[in-house]
Each structure stands twice: as structure tokens, then as C-alpha cells.
């Protein structure tokens, strides 16, 4: 077992404040809840806590410095007599002429208080979470609060631009939600720590995304389709027209002699795709007759009919 001072990274002459500060930093850095995928972090956390149990308390530190207990808090003397229920951490005293009687009283540092400071009141007590304490079983982190759920309706434009929106939760709160670059129908966005407060930490807020049906765009996969009316003369002669897209208007050239249902492809104007970038927007031309009867157009049509 390593020397407790070495484990905590302090000198033997360190003050109680320096020892406590050193342990606090190590406990916060290597706490198992902060490092769930690092088994070595748990080992370092346990070692730091055991070291602090020895030198974080005035009596057990003195006993260790005098060589009466080892780095695990075990007495180094053979044949000692301990009082029932006593703790082998608090030195010894002489009783009676020529006889030595060892009495170990409750020792150990205030690791529980430090857990309370760092992780909340539920961690107060000896040993810390996930460690066996004297007279007790294995400690576990207190449970987090319940998750909250909400469904959020978003528009095609908001999905296309990864907009910042807000979601209303059952408890009446509104939370701002920044849509990710790629979001799809039915996707759930998790907001860590925004749920109900529990004995330990708060739960999460879960936002399920629903893409609203749009009055203009039809969604097919990640592509968008839109109908665009074109005056008859523009369809015959060709013209540049402004087409609305989810990210703003763009100028599109209508080729001469364009018929209804001619489709123009606007690359990168659809919804975002997983691999980056955007899908496409397909513009379906709809050739429109004049709103009022046109005698010249009627004459031309009769002539064409022959």
C-alpha cells in the first residue's frame, strides 16, 4: 500500500487544509460517476479516499506518523487489546504499571463532507459512493430525478436552417432548443439535466421532433418539391423568376417553351443530410393563363386550331 502522503501528492508537513484541498481535487477528478468508462479512475479514487481516511484526521494521522498504524489503518502491533466497538485508528494509551493497552478510537478524515460539497448532500457520510464504509454496505450514487418529455412541432424552414426553437414541457417551462445540423421526423433530442430534480442530480428533458406538413413544400426523403406558377408568356419566351426556398429566394431561369410539369432541380436547397450538406429542391413549373380573357391570345389560339 502506498504512503498516503504520496497518494495525495502532499508533503508530510502539509497542513490539514492542504491535505483536504489535495483530496478534494483528486476526488472530483477521479470520481466514478465522472469517469464511467475508466476503471483506473475508480482505483485512483478509492486510493485517494483511503489515504484521506488516514491522514485527513488529526488522530489517525498522528498514529500513522508515529508508526502505530499502516497505510491501510491497520495496527502494526501484535497482541493488542481493543475495546468492543472501537475503531483501530486513534493511537494508544498506557494503563496500569508496566502494561500497555491499545485503544483505537474513531478516526478517518471527513471525506463524506467533501463528497457533500462536491456532489451534493446525498454523498455525505463515510466512504463515498461506490465504496464500502465502516459498519455499512456498498454506497451508490443517489438516483437522478425523472425525465420530462415534450413533442416539438418544427417547420421545414427551421429544419433546413438548424434554427433555435423553444419547447413547452408539462411543468409549464419553456426551454430553448438548438436543432442539430441534421434532424429527422421522430428524432429525440436530449437536454441533459433539464428534467425534474432528484435526490442526486436532475433528470433530462427529452424533446421528440415532429416536422409539420408545409403549405408549400412536399417532403420526399430529404428532397423538397414545390409547385411554381409561370405566366404563359414566360413559359413561351423564357424568363428569370424568383423561387422561394427554405433558406430564401433564388433566381431561376425558366427555359423558352417550358410546359407545365417541367421540373427544375436546385441543388443543395433541400433538407440537411447526415453526411453533410443539403439534399435538393425540385421546382415543378405550372404554366398559368392570364387572369382575364385576352382577345389577342384567343385569336392566336383560333388561328392555331385552324
Mean pLDDT per block of 10 residues along the chain (306 residues) reads 89 92 88 81 87 89 89 69 45 42 44 58 46 46 83 95 91 90 93 85 91 94 96 94 94 95 95 94 95 89 84
* Residue 41 placed within a domain: yes
pLDDT computed for residue 98 by the predictor: 41
Residue 168's CATH number:
2.60.260.20
Cα distances from 65 to residues 9, 47, 121, in angstroms, run 16, 18, 32
pLDDT computed for residue 257 by the predictor: 94
Instruction: Verify that 116 and 74 share a domain, yes or no.
Output: yes
208 close to 151: Cβ distance less than 8 angstroms: yes
Cα distances from 105 to residues 50, 101, 156, 233, in angstroms, run 17, 13, 70, 101
Please tell me the pTM assigned to this model: 0.52
* Residue 157 placed within a domain: yes
Instruction: Verify that 184 and 252 share a domain, yes or no.
Output: no
pLDDT tens figures, 45-92: 888 888 898 988 988 899 889 888 888 888 875 444 444 444 444 444
Query: Which structural domain range is residue 113 located in?
Result: 4-123
Instruction: Verify that 37 and 89 share a domain, yes or no.
Output: yes
pLDDT tens figures, 163-189: 999 998 888 889 999 999 999 999 999
Domain count across the chain: 3
Instruction: Verify that 196 and 272 share a domain, yes or no.
Output: no
* Residue 143 placed within a domain: no
CA angle 187, 188, 190 (to 5 degrees): 150
Q: How many angstroms separate the CA atoms of 50 and 34, rounded? A: 19
Q: How many CB atoms are closer than 10 A to CB 285?
A: 22
Domain boundary among 108, 123, 138: 123
Domain boundary among 175, 196, 211: 211
Instruction: Verify that 195 and 272 share a domain, yes or no.
Output: no
Instruction: Verify that 15 and 117 share a domain, yes or no.
Output: yes
* Residue 134 placed within a domain: no
pLDDT computed for residue 113 by the predictor: 60
Amino acid at each position: 500500500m502506498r504512503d498516503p502522503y504520496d497518494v495525495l501528492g502532499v508533503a508530510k508537513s502539509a497542513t490539514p487544509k492542504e491535505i483536504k484541498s489535495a483530496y478534494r481535487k483528486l476526488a472530483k477528478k477521479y470520481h466514478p460517476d465522472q469517469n464511467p468508462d475508466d476503471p483506473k479512475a475508480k482505483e485512483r479514487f478509492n486510493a485517494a479516499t483511503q489515504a484521506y481516511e488516514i491522514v485527513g484526521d488529526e488522530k489517525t494521522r498522528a498514529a500513522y506518523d508515529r508508526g502505530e498504524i499502516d497505510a491501510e489503518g491497520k495496527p502494526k502491533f501484535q497482541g493488542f487489546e481493543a475495546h468492543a466497538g472501537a475503531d483501530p485508528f486513534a493511537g494508544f494509551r498506557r494503563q496500569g504499571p508496566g502494561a500497555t493497552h491499545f485503544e483505537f478510537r474513531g478516526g478517518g478524515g471527513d471525506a463524506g463532507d467533501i463528497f457533500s460539497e462536491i456532489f451534493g448532500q446525498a454523498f455525505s457520510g463515510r466512504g463515498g459512493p461506490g465504496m464500502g464504509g465502516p459498519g455499512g454496505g456498498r454506497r451508490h450514487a443517489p438516483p437522478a430525478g425523472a425525465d420530462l418529455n415534450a413533442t416539438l412541432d418544427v417547420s421545414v424552414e427551421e429544419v433546413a436552417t438548424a434554427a433555435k426553437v423553444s419547447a413547452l414541457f408539462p411543468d409549464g417551462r419553456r426551454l430553448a432548443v438548438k436543432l442539430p445540423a441534421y434532424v429527422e421526423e421522430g428524432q429525440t433530442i436530449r437536454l441533459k439535466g433539464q428534467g425534474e430534480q432528484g435526490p442526486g442530480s436532475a433528470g433530462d428533458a427529452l424533446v421528440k421532433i415532429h416536422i409539420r406538413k408545409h403549405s408549400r413544400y412536399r417532403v420526399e426523403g430529404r428532397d423538397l418539391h414545390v409547385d411554381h406558377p409561370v405566366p404563359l408568356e414566360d413559359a413561351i419566351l423564357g424568363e428569370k423568376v424568383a423561387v422561394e426556398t427554405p433558406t430564401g429566394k433564388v433566381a431561376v431561369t425558366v427555359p423558352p417553351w417550358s410546359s407545365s410539369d417541367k421540373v427544375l432541380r436546385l441543388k443543395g436547397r433541400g433538407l440537411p443530410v447526415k453526411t453533410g450538406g443539403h439534399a435538393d429542391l425540385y421546382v415543378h413549373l405550372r404554366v398559368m393563363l392570364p387572369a382575364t380573357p385576352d382577345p389577342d391570345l384567343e385569336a392566336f389560339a383560333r388561328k392555331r386550331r385552324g
